[in-house]
Amino acid sequence: MFQARPSRRRALAAGVTTAALFLAGPTALAGCTASAPAPEGPDPLEAPARRAESDVALAAAVAQAHSTLAATARALAADRAAHAATLRAELHRVHPDPVPTSTAQPVPPVVPPPASPDAAAARTALTEAMRAAQDEAAALVITLPGYRAALLASVAACCATHTALLT
C-alpha cells in the first residue's frame, strides 16, 4: 500500500510495538482503563448482527422490486451480509454453545418492512436503515473492548459510505 520512503515502514512497525506494550499495560492501572463488561443480558453484538441480517433482506427485496436501485441495493446487501457473518462469527467465538432457552433473554427479531412499490420511498427506506445502523454501531464503538470497537467502527463507516451513495 501507500508508503513513505522505506525507512518509514520501520517507524510504523515501531509504533505498533509501542501500542502493543500499551495494551499489555492497563490491567495494572485500573484507574486509567475500562474493565470488561459483565456478561449479563444479550451480547451487545446481537443487535447489530440482527440489524445487518434485516438490512440484507430489505436490500434484497428492494433490488428485486426496483431495477433502477438494483446495483446499489445489491452492493449494500453484500456489505451487510459480510457484517452479519463477521458479527455472528465473533458471537460464536465468545459463546460457542447456544444459550439454553430457559435463561436466554428474548430478543425480538428485526423484521424488515417489505420493499415499497415506490422507488423513491424504497431509496429512503435504505437510507434510513443505513443511518440507523451507523448510529447503532457508532454508539457501541465508544463502549466495547478494542477488537469489537474496531469491528463496529468499520461497520459504521461502511454504512456511512452507503448513505453517501444513496443521497
**Positions that interact with other proteins (CB under 8 A):** 1-5, 8, 11-12, 14-23, 25-26, 29, 31-34, 75, 78-79, 82-83, 86, 134, 138, 141-147, 149-151, 153-158, 160-162, 164-165
Q: Which is nearer to other proteins, 6 or 106 (CB)?
A: 6
Closest CA to 111 of 59, 54, 56: 54
- Least distance in angstroms from the C-beta of 101 to other proteins: 32
Q: How far apart are alpha carbons 48 and 144 in whole angstroms?
A: 13
- Least distance in angstroms from the C-beta of 12 to other proteins: 6
- Least distance in angstroms from the C-beta of 42 to other proteins: 19
Residue-wise burial string across 66-96, b where 16 or more C-beta atoms lie within 10 A, e elsewhere: beebeebbeebbebbbebbebbbebbeeeee
Q: Which is nearer to other proteins, 122 or 158 (CB)?
A: 158
- Least distance in angstroms from the C-beta of 106 to other proteins: 28
Closest CA to 137 of 95, 80, 74, 89: 80
H/E element, 42: none
- Least distance in angstroms from the C-beta of 26 to other proteins: 7
Instruction: Give, in order, the Cα–Cα distances in Å from 76 to each of 63, 126, 149.
Output: 10, 9, 22
* The three cell numbers locating residue 142: 465508544
